[in-house]
Amino acid sequence: MLDDVFNSFFKIEPMLSEVVQKALNDQINMEFRSSYSYLAMSSFCAIHNFPGCASWLQIQSEEENDHAMRLRAFLLDRNCPLVLQPIEAPSAKYTTIPEVFAAALQSEIAVSQSIDNLYELAHKEKAFAALVELQWFISEQVEEEKTVRDIAAKFEMLKDDPSGLIDLDGDLGARSAEEAAAN
Ligand SMILES: [Fe+2]
Ligand SMILES: [Fe+2]
């Protein structure tokens, strides 16, 4: 009798279908990959003397890590195991700062597509709690795509204008100071 109580209490019943669990774990991997990628971009900017860009991209890298952790928390709340996968090294080789932001935009577009696919799957699987969780990510992607698209467009407009580039780098560097003040 006590054994039954013990077993039922500790029995872990995943509350998401296997296919949704797998897709969420894959998304976690994509968020970590995105974090790695922003870290690589930040480092490229740092050694090319764009400290503002480097700082902006480092904060972005930390945000992607937060996204992975947010999905992890959701999986665990639903009694589902976290299945960590190897994180692919960023492959992109940049030669200019505008290239970095163009690549960041492509990466955000790919993440948005992946989140949309995940949402569609959760809908098909009637994973309603996952739908609610994923709505946050859909809004976040709209925001991130817009922000990165704006920055990429500014770099495109400036081309090689040195004083414009210095100003833009300074504007991007202000992000860390603003966010530190807000927290
Ligand atoms: Fe993300
Ligand atoms: Fe992102």
CA of 169 to the centre of ligand 2 (A): 20
Provide the pLDDT for residue 1: 58
Nearest ligand, measured from the Cα of 60: 2
Domains annotated on the chain, with CATH: 17-182 (1.20.1260.10)
Give the C-alpha distances (Å, rounded to integers) separating 131 from 16, 64, 69, 80, 180: 12, 20, 17, 16, 32
Task: List pLDDT tens digits, range 156-165.
Answer: 999 889 999 9
Neighbours of ion ligand 1 (CB under 5 A): 31, 64, 67
Radius of gyration for the alpha carbons in the chain, expressed in angstroms and rounded: 20
CA of 47 to the centre of ligand 2 (A): 23
Task: List pLDDT tens digits, range 2-52.
Answer: 666 666 666 789 999 999 999 999 999 999 999 999 999 999 999 999 999
Do 27 and 117 touch, CB atoms closer than 8 A? Answer: no
Q: Rounded mean pLDDT of 69-82? A: 98
Give the C-alpha distances (Å, rounded to integers) separating 136 from 61, 129, 141: 18, 12, 9
